[in-house]
Amino acid sequence: MKTRHFLTLNDLSVEELQNIINNAIAGKLRLHAGQTVQTLKGRVLAMVFEKSSTRTRVSFETGMAQLGGHAIYLSPEGTQLGRGEPLEDTARVLSNMVDCIMIRTFAHEKVVRFAEFSRVPVINGLSDTYHPCQILADMQTYVEHRGSIKGKTVAWLGDGNNMCHSYINAAWMLDFKLNIACPEAYCPDQTILRTASNHAELFNEPCSAVKEADLVVTDVWASMGQEQEMAERQAVFAPYQVNRELMTHAKRDALFMHCLPAHRGQEVTADVIDGQQSVVWDEAGNRLHSQKALLEFLLL
């Protein structure tokens, strides 16, 4: 049987995605009721991090431990990757020892190449182009708070980045409308956008994108690897800040999400991210539950 990978959300069928979300919700309820399962007993996940992480690392490591398995943290500095061992060789070697590999890196092409040379499932823990693990948690969080997202309106504000691309994937898979308001030079990739042309639309005005939205989402203005562009980005992105005034254009019961880490006073004001409509802590916590469901899907 062909090895299944999770490099983008589209590696799943719609039914598989819905099952993972439902299993994540059920697994979380079981955990909170004190029930533990050891479905991944003896299984090992290797985690290759070429960029920093708090949530992704801790959620995968905790998830594997809770399911009876083990996770190994690997960084370029601490492995031969940093001394020039080819990615392909690393993929072949790791996949002869472990049951699953998560990789967080820069160019998405590296994730794809890693998967080509891996005998075991590879999970994209974030690339410059996609962040599929985060969108699983976001979708779980929406369903927990509001039920099905089908037919709802989601507004994306700010950078047309890796998270925005994963939202575009989710829009057509889960059948919601995605209104994207980005500065012209920072729009999402046109090819990715075209895959969801019936579901995703670009807006010039942040207020128009947010109008009647059920969910408002933003992310940092400068992603990892773009730190040197921060000053110029701050000026361009300022009109796209999610603040209380902007939120008044959304539905009264609209939710606010942000994958974190956040910069209060830049892409979002403190009164929004720390306010009533924000579900960012549930969203971050759900990284654990949705990835446990993903690991079980890939490994069992």
Interatomic CA distance for residues 280 and 260, integer angstroms: 8
Nearer to ligand NVA, 126 or 182 (CB): 126
Is 119 a residue of the active site? no
Strand ranges, E, within the chain: 44-49, 70-74, 100-104, 122-124, 153-157, 177-181, 200-203, 215-218, 255-258
Two structure tokens written together for 158: 């700010």
Q: Which of 49, 42, 80, 45 is nearest to 60 (CA)?
A: 45
Out of 171, 220, 254, 255, the residue judged to bind ligand NVA by CB under 6 A: 220
Judged by beta carbon distances under 5 to 8 A according to partner kind, the member of ligand NVA, ligand CP, none in contact with residue 71 is none
Q: Which stretch binds ligand CP (CB under 6 A): 52-60, 90-98, 106-114, 183-191?
A: 52-60
Q: If you ran DSSP here, which 8-state letter would residue 51 be given?
A: S
Out of 18, 19, 39, 53, the residue judged to bind ligand CP by CB under 6 A: 53
Is 134 a residue of the active site? yes
Residue found by looking up tokens 């539905």 in the block:
251
Is 253 a residue of the active site? no
Asked whether position 162 contacts ligand NVA by CB under 6 A, the answer is yes
- Of all residues in this chain, which one has the CB nearest to ligand CP in the complex? 56
Asked whether position 45 contacts ligand NVA by CB under 6 A, the answer is no
Shortest Cβ 48–ligand CP spacing (Å): 13
Which 240-279 residues touch ligand CP, going by CB under 6 A? 259-260
Nearer to ligand CP, 199 or 242 (CB): 242
Two structure tokens written together for 29: 């309820």
DSSP output for 168-236: HHHHHHHT-EEEEE--GGGPPPHHHHHTTTTTEEEES-HHHHHTT-SEEEE--SS-TT-GGGHHHHHHH
Positions in the binding site for ligand NVA (CB under 6 A): 126, 131, 161-163, 219-220, 223-224, 259
